[in-house]
Structures are given as structure tokens and as C-alpha cells.
Amino acid sequence: MEFDLIDAIRARVAIARDDVALGIGDDAALTGIAPGQQLVACVDTLVAGVHFPRDTAPEDIGWKSLAVNLSDLAAMGAVPTWALLALTLPEADALFVESFAAGFSALARAHEVALIGGDTTQGPLSITVTALGMVPTGEALTRAGARVDDAVFVTGTLGDAAGALRLHQEAGSRGHGTEVQRPSTTTLSSRLNRPEPRIAAGLALRGIANACIDISDGLLADLGHVCTASGVGAELEVETLPISPALAAAFDPAACRELALAGGDDYELCFTVARAREAEVQAALARAGCHATRIGRIVAGSGVRVLGVHGSEVVMPQAGWEHFSR
């Protein structure tokens, strides 16, 4: 079974790169690395029913399994180059594999990422993608460089994917799997199923941002990682959080805020930059076709505080928030 499936994947994700000396087919792949570059490597697993709803379309699973990894490379300021795909399937389902590969390939092509190997095994549906990329030596963005008084920015909008997941779960529990989708619901669903890794933004931020992370587990959690790694704290102004029109149409303001702060799967970049360089950031991002919003600042101390309009701390109703378990 295995070989037909591997051929099906190979046929659909055939992206040629000059730096691949030996791709799929041997025991391991061989690639070249340009002088003056560091190899950037990351891996993420998606388990059905844990990291995506079981009824997610195979194309979307393929796209997302690569997207979550390219998002990690984006956060490092890396150019993605190659990927490896470990696929665990309940059965040798050629239709699933073809659709999965089509979704994977659509994103791989968009970023010229070559699939150079993988593994195919039988078991509960789970996908592990290793993504590799390059960054000029010493120029990678990390979590550890935030400084007191830096401005905190986030690309795009927050909470859309978590909003889509909540609507999906509510529809499921009402037994309305086939109900008519409103335009805002479709927009939110595409944010959940087809996240766009912010590669161009990550490249634009090299040499400008002091620290950067991609938001996969929610803004509060991920900005918290930056704070821990950098030995600082952060203050967020809740009124400045970028909320999309689609999210605002589907949820009340309090729910939007909660989804933006604590919902997962955003795959936006959160970064910090010296205040004197804020204008430079906006100009560099605009050239890269991206947008970022200033949402707070780095302070001395530790942890992330959320401030309301008058500067008073907002207590988050975290206890009532049901995160899609991961």
C-alpha cells in the first residue's frame, strides 16, 4: 500500500529546487546550504480531533499541516526551503491522500518549499511535518530579545480561527452540521482551516524587531513565552486588539476580546520593537504587503497584564473559556 501512496504524494507535491541534490526515493534526502546561512528547523504534529476537527476537509488538513510549520519559520525570520512529511493514516485511502497532497502542495508551491522525504504508517490519523529554512547567520528573530519600553505589535487580526472553532462546535452540538453558512462564518472558517503563514512579515522584520513569536496557542500564552525568554513583562491595551469585521459580526465585544486574547490557531506574528523604530516597522511591513497593529508595550517585571480603556487591569474570564483541547 505504502508505495502507491508515496507516489501519489510525490506526483502532487513535485516542486523542484536547485538546492535539492536527492529528494524522495532514497533512504534520506541531500540538500545544499548556501554559505553564510544557518539552517532553521522545526516540527509540529497535528492529531485528528485534537488539533483539527475530525470532519475537516483533507485539502485543509494538508494545507494546515504545512502552514503551522511555516508559521514557526516565519517567526524566526527564515525563508522556508524544504519539508518532510510523516503521515499516519487509519487506512490506505488514496482519495484522502490525493486531496491532502493537493492542499499541502498549494501552500508548498506558494512558498517554493520542496517536499524532500517523509514516512507513511498506519494508525490513528496524525500528521507530522518537519519544515526547514534558511536565515543569514546571526539574523534570526528569537523570543529572547524583548527590552523594556519596546512596543508590542501583532500582524493581521486575532481570534478568527478560535471563533470559527467555537461556531463549529456550537453547530455540532445543535446537530446543524449542514446549516447555511453566513459570509462571516466562511471567512472565519478559512482562517481556521487555511492559515496564511506570515513569511513576508518575518523577513521584513529581520534587523528591526527585537523579539518575535508566532501565535499558535493564543496571544496571552505566546506573548508570555516572549516575556519569560526575555526576562520582561508586557502590558496590553485591550481596546487596541485587532478584531476582524467577520469576528465582530459573529460575537459580542466581550467574546471577541476573549477569543483574541486566549483563542488559539491565529498564526499571526507577535513582535517587539524599540519605540524609535515603530515607523520603520510599519514601512517595512507595508512594502511586504502586511499590516501590524501596536497592542502594548514591554515593561520591567514578568507576565502579561491586560489593561482596559482607563489603564486599569482587566480580569480575564479565563475560567469560562473552553479552549479546543490540545
Catalog residues that contact Mg ion under the rule CB under 5 A. Answer: 119
Region binding ligand ADP by CB under 6 A among candidate stretches 57-65, 110-118, 175-183, 232-240: 110-118
CA distance 240 to 228: 23
User: Which option in ligand ADP, Mg ion, none does residue 9 bind, with CB closer than 5 to 8 A by kind?
Assistant: ligand ADP
Q: Which does 91 bind (CB under 5 to 8 A by kind): Mg ion, ligand ADP, none?
A: none
- Does residue 46 belong to the site contacting ligand ADP (CB under 6 A)? no
Task: Give the three-class secondary structure for 108.
Answer: helix
Contact region for ligand ADP (CB under 6 A) — 19-27, 39-47, 263-271, 290-298? Answer: 19-27
Nearer CB in complex with Mg ion: 29/74: 29
In the list ligand ADP, Mg ion, none, the entry touching 195 (Cβ below 5 to 8 angstroms by class) is: none
Closer to ligand ADP at the Cβ: 27 or 91?
27
Tell me which residues in 282-311 interact with ligand ADP (CB under 6 A): none
Strand pairing class (114-122; 79-89): parallel
Burial profile 186-204: b = 16 or more Cβ within 10 angstroms, e = fewer = ebbbbbbbbbbbbbbbbbb
Scan residues 64-103 and list those touching ligand ADP (CB under 6 A): 85, 87
> What are the strands, taking DSSP E only, across the chain?
20-22, 30-31, 37-47, 79-89, 114-122, 126-136, 151-155, 211-214, 233-237, 269-273, 292-299, 303-307
Smallest gap from Cβ 30 to Mg ion, in A, equals 16
The site that binds ligand ADP (CB under 6 A) totals a number of residues, namely 13
Q: 285 — phi, psi (to 5°)?
A: -70, -40
Counted residue by residue, the chain has a size of 326
Q: Supply the DSSP symbol for 277.
A: G
- Report strand pairing: 37-47 vs 303-307: unpaired
Cell numbers linked to 219: 496571544
Which of 24-32, 71-79, 150-158, 314-322 is the region at the interface with ligand ADP (rule: CB under 6 A)? 24-32
Name the site residues for ligand ADP (rule: CB under 6 A). 6, 9, 24-27, 85, 87, 115, 117-120
